[in-house]
Amino acid sequence: MSALTKITEIELDGTATSYNITSGIDATYRCYYFTFQNIHPSADCQLAVGLSQNGGTDNYLNSKTSAVWLNRVMLTDVADIATEFRPAWAMGNDTAFQVLCESIYSGVTDGNMSGYFYLFNPSNTSYNCHYMWSTNCLQQSNLTWQNTGTGRMIGSGACNAVRFKTLDSPTATLDAGTITMWGLNTS
Amino acid sequence: MILGSPTYIATHTASSATSIEITSNIDSTYDTYMLVMTDMKPESTVGQKFGFNTDHAGTSYNNPHCSTNIMWSYNDDDSGADFSQGAGVLSDNSTTPVEMGHGVGNTSYAIQPGIFYIFDPSTATTETQYMWHITGYYATGDGTFGCWNNAKENGAGTISKIKFTAAGGSALFSGTIDMYGVS
């Protein structure tokens, strides 16, 4: 039997700019694993994550420190490449939402973002809650853009809820794709 | 990312110990083994690096390895941006423990979680490969760091044991490693 247990699956349907997961993140699992599949927005936008210590009533604005790097190539010109630190998305004890990907191109229906996000032992109040992720998306119609990062929530409170939301476009909704949260069994 | 369909095998823990040794269940049952590390925490001086070494039967965890990495980091005070190959944690045919990342802080809440893979350890005719993706509390500057690293045995042979240490085995640490087989 697979040790991966599906806890929550959100089918994105274009009705919202953010999606919250406010249950199921607790001491049941030491490792939570989120997958992003074929996420497509209604307008070009980034996807970002916020972490909460009280089920979301803190508006997911807990301080975080993160380090991020990018790896991109232009689809029509493989000489147009970059692999470098992404200072704009790094966060030093910052309450802003953490950007998980470059702006996802909305102009074609088959362009999307996919990737994953880990949350380690979020209920342990002795240590900082750590996370890491990697995503890839179609950006500006002609770039494939990978972002990879790691970080930690400042302080030692438990993380018990997450919000995934669009950034960089005030009206963009997530009109297709799936966000799934898994727990990794230890028995 | 989590590969395939993992099956839980066992949990290994350390509490003020100098090592976590996994001495069973690494065999031909699975092609890939996944180790999920949580709360890996040094318990003495600042800046200890976690590492590992492996064992052909009877080699006492001194197999030679080569390893390389990509590491990145950023500090709580918005300084210290870095993305580079960590020259200090490369391994070139060395029998000392393969260093896994930067030194971890030893404040009361500093840890290093991550995911570690062992590929095909039971094929005697190939060199076993390793890959790990970790996130940690960076001792330098009170920041965060991440690593994508990999390593290989230098020389073909089966691997049945692996040992994780801090500061080359001279330091105490605590932590949990959940072991999975992946099919």
Residues belonging to chain A: 187
Q: How many residues in total does chain B contain?
A: 183
The average pLDDT across A47-53 equals: 97
| Best residue in B12, B33, B41, B144 for a mutation probing chain A (most A CBs within 10 Å) | B144
At residue B40, the pLDDT reads 96
Give which of A181, A174, A179 is closest to A104, Cα–Cα: A174
Indicate the DSSP class of residue B30.
Answer: -
Amino acid residing at A150:
T
For B135, the closest of A87, A90, A131 (CB atoms) is A131
Chain A, window 21-60: residues with a beta carbon less than 8 angstroms from a chain B beta carbon? 30-31, 33
3-state DSSP call for residue A83?
Answer: strand
Q: How close, in Å, is residue A13 to chain B by CA atoms?
A: 25
- Around Cβ A140, how many Cβ atoms within 10 Å? 16
Decide: B117 and B36 in contact? Cβ < 8 Å: no
The pLDDT score that the predictor gives to residue B55 is 87
Q: How confident is the model at residue A26 (pLDDT cuts 50, 70, 90)?
A: very high
Residue with tokens 């993380």: A159
Amino acid at A136: N
pLDDT at position B15, please? 96
The C-alpha atoms of residue B32 and residue B85 are separated, in whole angstroms, by 26
Q: Please compute the mean of the pLDDT values over residues A79-95 and round it to a whole number.
A: 94
Q: What is the pLDDT of residue B105?
A: 85
How many whole angstroms separate alpha carbon B70 and alpha carbon B65?
Answer: 17
Which ranges of chain B have pLDDT less than 50? none
Q: What is the CA angle A43-A48-A52, rounded to 5?
A: 140
CB A179 within 8 A of CB A98: no
CB contacts of B11 in chain A (<8 Å) are 186
Please, what is the average pLDDT of chain B? 93
